[in-house]
Amino acid sequence: GRCETSRREDSMSMSSRVPVLAIDGPSGTGKGTVGSHIAKTRGWHLLDSGALYRAFAFAANEQGIAPDDIEGINALDRETEFAFETTVSGEVEIRVNGREVSMRVRGEQGGRLASMYAAVPAVRSRLIKHQRSRRQDPGLVADGRDMGTVVFPDATLKIFLTASPEIRAQRRYNQLKSKDFDVTLRGLEAQIAERDQQDASRAVAPLVAASDAVVIDTSRRGIGEIVEEVDGLLSIRLRDYD
């Protein structure tokens, strides 16, 4: 598979000079919102790695490729083009071979599928190169589960966001409701807990804060405040960068 936005990197040393803000954490902690704000104001690229896992899992599932079918997974990756476009409102539009699939993959069903395929080492290793190819000037904001631990271990700044399960479920509920998804708060609480459990307990790239990540609890704070804190930390790191 190719990424529309990907470009050949001249060398690892060149691309690693491009600054990266890695934002990890479970669903509903505000990663996406904080990340897209900062990417927008700084004019940096944005990588919503969850969208990549969702799109890949959707395509695999639709074509009947089981998570343990390594040959099928590799063939799918070769034959499929995944494209992501950030709209003016900061939403990421997801296309699989040109087909817009955002609504189909954004719900909890899509999250569950993503989490299932994301536990497979072959899937993760195929998707790593797509993610690293997004590291382009003037900088990259990357959000996901393993941005700071696996994909960009040399990130300029690593943030790990947390929040209480109730607040995360409520945020996901508001988010999905606003996109006309048919969800209940109770149902989401259970689905999010199950997905976290699966993501945190897998053998490869489990959901865990990097040892050098700054951990921020977003439960009782407004998004604007978090954005300001993270952006301030980033400015300090960038000063020492060159």
The single-letter DSSP state of residue 213 is P
The residue from 15, 36, 102, 115 that contacts ligand C5P (CB under 6 A) is 115
The span of 6-14, 60-68, 69-77, 108-116 binding ligand C5P (CB under 6 A) equals 108-116
Please tell me the count of residues contacting ligand C5P according to CB under 6 A.
14
Q: Residue 164 or 175: which CB sits closer to ligand C5P?
A: 175
Query: Which residues between 26 and 45 bind ligand C5P (CB under 6 A)?
Result: 27
**Residue 29 burial class via C-beta count within 10 angstroms: exposed 0-12, middle 13-18, buried 19 and up:** buried
Phi first, then psi, for residue 223 (nearest 5°) are: -65, -35
The span of 138-146, 161-169, 179-187, 208-216 binding ligand C5P (CB under 6 A) equals 138-146
The span of 6-14, 71-79, 140-148, 208-216 binding ligand C5P (CB under 6 A) equals 140-148
Single out the residue of 141, 133, 128 nearest to residue 42, CA to CA. Answer: 141
For position 53 contacting ligand C5P by CB under 6 A, the verdict is yes
For position 49 contacting ligand C5P by CB under 6 A, the verdict is yes
Strand, coil or helix: what is 199? Answer: helix
Bridge partners of 48, per DSSP, are: 143
For position 145 contacting ligand C5P by CB under 6 A, the verdict is yes
Residue 89 amino acid letter = S
- In 18-151, at which residue ranges do the beta strands (DSSP E only) sit? 20-24, 45-48, 81-86, 92-96, 99-100, 140-144
For binding to ligand C5P (CB under 6 A), which residues are involved? 27, 49-50, 53-54, 111, 114-115, 118, 144-146, 195, 199
